[in-house]
Amino acid sequence: MMNTFRLRKSRKKKFRESLYTDISLGLTCEAIVPEFRTPFGQKLALYRHDKLGHILVLDGNIQWMEKDEAIYHETMAHWPMHSVAEPQRVLIVGGGDLGVARELVKYPMLEEIDVVDIDPCVREVTLMYVPHIAGHAATDPRVNKYDVDAARFIKEAVSSHYDIVVLDTTDEVNVATPLFGEKFQSEVYRVLTKGGVMVRVAGSVFLQEDEVKKTLELVRSIFSRISTGMLTLPTMMYLGCFFGIVVAVKEGIWSSIPTRRISVSGLLPLSWYDARWHAFVAERPPYIQKTFFS
């Protein structure tokens, strides 16, 4: 399949994100991999912008920008890793670009990192043109890559097997739609160990307020209200500037206090994550508290 993604000379073109009908993010960039439809029905493209670097797009929506992808990937990996006492096994649903896995392989304590993404084209394009996004996760023997349906995978997984589940999914469209229902969320709860932590994408706290509330209520209905919290990430790559990440702990009380001292010396290189960042993204400014937790 790799031969499909040949580099083509391309003039600068206008790209506009298609997530919203009444507001859009527009960029003038070069098409490194012109948009094509993968065997799983997703429309995939890779662009390059002079200031923002490479930009991965699925179904017309930006997944990451090279300039600030570390904000998202570092937080999705290191925040839950410091919210579980002694994590050993992690499941990543989605995350085919291996950005989250790149950060997780920095932990010698982890024995197993399962990445389940139905569409291998995401990984193949990333590895061919932007391999540093995946880093050592591309070759680390602890990283198991499953190109299968995540809903089926988690249904067949052993109960209480994973200490951390990261739901690094696209928006609720196309092949990702089954990953947003109560049935799938219940399976996530089942496969977590007691005290295990789940993190999942919720959406823009400004432009997707209803979606964030819906995700919070779904998670609360399964994990309980006191077990569920939210991180807010400042980001340039997602229209709306501030992005919500729902966090929940199985049979425990959600807390922003890390379970052990955060030492970044063994996690380098890092662009954003440290003890101050861990606390910062869990803060609840008045708008977040009033809108989502009142």
What is the total residue count of the chain? 294
What does the pLDDT average to over 32-44?
94
Q: 193 φ, ψ to 5°?
A: -75, 165
Q: Count Cβ atoms below 10 Å from residue 260 Cβ, excluding itself.
A: 11
Question: Of residues 220 and 171, which shows the higher confidence score?
Answer: 220
The residue extents of the domains of the chain are 7-65, 69-293
CB 278, CB 231: distance < 8 Å: no
Q: Known binder of ligand: residue 49?
A: no
| Residue 240 reports pLDDT greater than 90 | no
pLDDT class of 241 with cuts at 50, 70, 90 = confident
pLDDT band at 5; cut points 50, 70, 90:
low
Residue 263: pLDDT over 70:
yes
Using a pLDDT cut of 70, give the percent of the chain over it.
Answer: 94
In this structure, which CATH number among 3.40.50.150, 1.10.490.10, 3.40.50.300, 1.10.3720.10 belongs to the domain 69-293? 3.40.50.150
pTM: 0.94
CATH superfamily, domain 7-65, is: Spermidine synthase, tetramerisation domain (2.30.140.10)
Q: Would you call 123 exposed, middle or buried from its count of C-beta atoms within 10 A (0-12, 13-18, 19+)?
A: buried
pLDDT score for 20: 86
Band (2; pLDDT cuts 50, 70, 90):
very low
* DSSP code at position 171: -
Distance of CA 36 to the CA centre of its chain: 23
171 exposure class (CB count in 10 Å sphere: 0-12, 13-18, 19+):
middle
Give tens-digit pLDDT for 184-201: 999 999 999 999 999 998
Q: Is 68 annotated as a binding residue?
A: no
Q: What is the pLDDT of residue 7?
A: 54
Check the annotation: does 274 bind a ligand: no
- CA 86-73-265 angle, to 5 degrees, is 55
Q: What is the rounded distance in angstroms from the CA atom of residue 216 to the CA atom of residue 284? A: 15
Same fold, 7-65 and 69-293: no
Q: How many angstroms separate the CA atoms of 4 and 135, rounded? A: 22
Mean pLDDT of the chain: 92
Q: What is the average per-residue pLDDT within 43-55?
A: 96
Residue 279 counted as an annotated binding residue = no
**Distance in angstroms (rounded) separating the CA atoms of residues 255 and 71:** 21
Confidence band, pLDDT 50/70/90 cuts, at residue 239? confident
Q: Residue 8's pLDDT is what? A: 55
210 catalytic per annotation: no
pLDDT, tens digit, 9 for 90 and up, residues 50-93: 999 999 999 999 999 999 999 999 999 999 999 999 999 999 99
Q: How are strands ordered across the β-sheet holding 89-94?
A: 143-146, 112-116, 89-94, 162-168, 192-204, 242-249, 228-234
Task: Check whether 229 has a pLDDT greater than 60.
Answer: yes
Residue 211 backbone phi and psi in degrees, to 5: -65, -40
Active-site residue (options: 168, 171, 210, 274): 168
Strands 242-249, 192-204: pairing kind: antiparallel
